[in-house]
Amino acid sequence: MSKEQRFFEAGSEQRQVLDELCSKACDGRLTDAEARGLDAMLSESSEARVVYLRHMNLHSTLHAYLVPAEVDSAPAEERASAVVPRIPPGNVTALRPQPRPRVNPVLLAVAALAMFGAFFVAINWLWDLLPTPSGPGPALATLTQSHDAQWAAGMKRPELGEPIGRERLRLVRGRARIDFNRGSQIILGGKADLEILSENSARLHAGKLVAQVPSAATGFRIETASFDIIDLGTAFGVSLVEGGDVEVSVLEGVVEIAVRDAETGEMIPIQQLREGHSVIARPESLRVEKTEYAPESYEGLRKQP
């Protein structure tokens, strides 16, 4: 037998004190000082908790079978004061039974509706405080010029001067200039499909564009399905032609053409192209071939829309 078990052994002085406090707890007769004393015993001793639970379980069982008829016929408040619920194991708080107030179900429903209403009002208020994004994620570029531009239905239709996030833009006709936050400019013409990826990169899915890149934005990148065109301080044009070939013409400066490694997905530089030269990059063979330099179509796009 442990020291704790001997301390609360039946017949010991401490056990008698504990039994009396438990009985008073069952009957609702504990004073505040006695409640604090009982709570201290239960907090410090697992053996005391076992004794306490036995008292509570015995009391609730006796009440279920031996409660007088006059108590059952009494008002609800008086019946509730005669009931002590079973205390689940591990609860070390000395509880004194309290009368159960009657609750009007209509008032309860009204209170619940009021709480839900207050909750939704608070949510809407907080939502209004949040900044409204210009598109998916932060703004990366802005539509700065437009000439007879018509955008495809069901896609993003930017307004002049509107910041644009990571969006896919599909031009049906006309011309449009997009200025990136890092300073690069793209001009789209005719039917073109462009996806803005970052402040200094975009992906051309279809059509033609001209890029004008200041020195502060060197490294600006135009991605395609198989090739990337990386600026090294220049102006250049890119067209996606039939069959998926990529035509690149350097109008000013130098660009680098890189091919995507099929296994790792990394871009591998394969050729630098200087001003006054054009190439066609063929995705099927992953080869870059020289072609006749014809800047006329790109120069037309470079005119201010």
Distant-in-sequence, close-in-space partners of 198: CB < 8 Å, separation ≥ 6? 140, 166
Distance CA 222, CA 273 (A): 15
User: In a 3-state reduction of DSSP, which class is residue 250?
Assistant: strand
Q: Are residues 296 and 183 in the same domain?
A: yes
Q: Same domain, yes or no, for 160 and 269?
A: yes
Tell me the whole-structure pTM to 2 decimals: 0.55
- Is 56 a member of any domain? yes
Q: Is residue 178 part of a domain?
A: yes
Does residue 94 fall inside a structural domain?
no
Task: Tell me how many helices (H) and strands (E) the chain has.
Answer: 8, 13
Question: Are both 206 and 271 inside the same structural domain?
Answer: yes
Whole-number pLDDT of residue 250: 95
**Of 290 and 136, more confident:** 290
Would residue 92 count as lying in a domain? Answer: no
Reported as a single tens digit per residue, the pLDDT across 143-162 is: 999 889 999 988 788 899 99
Domain residue limits at 68: 3-81
149 in the same domain as 75: no
51 and 151 both lie in a single domain: no
Task: Give the whole-angstrom CA distance, residue 252 versus residue 236.
Answer: 7
149 vs 59, more confident = 149
Q: How confident is the model at residue 74 (pLDDT cuts 50, 70, 90)?
A: low
136 belongs to a structural domain: no
Q: Cα separation of 167 and 90, whole Å?
A: 57
Confidence grade of residue 3 (pLDDT, cut at 50, 70, 90): low
84 CB neighbour count, 10 Å cutoff: 19
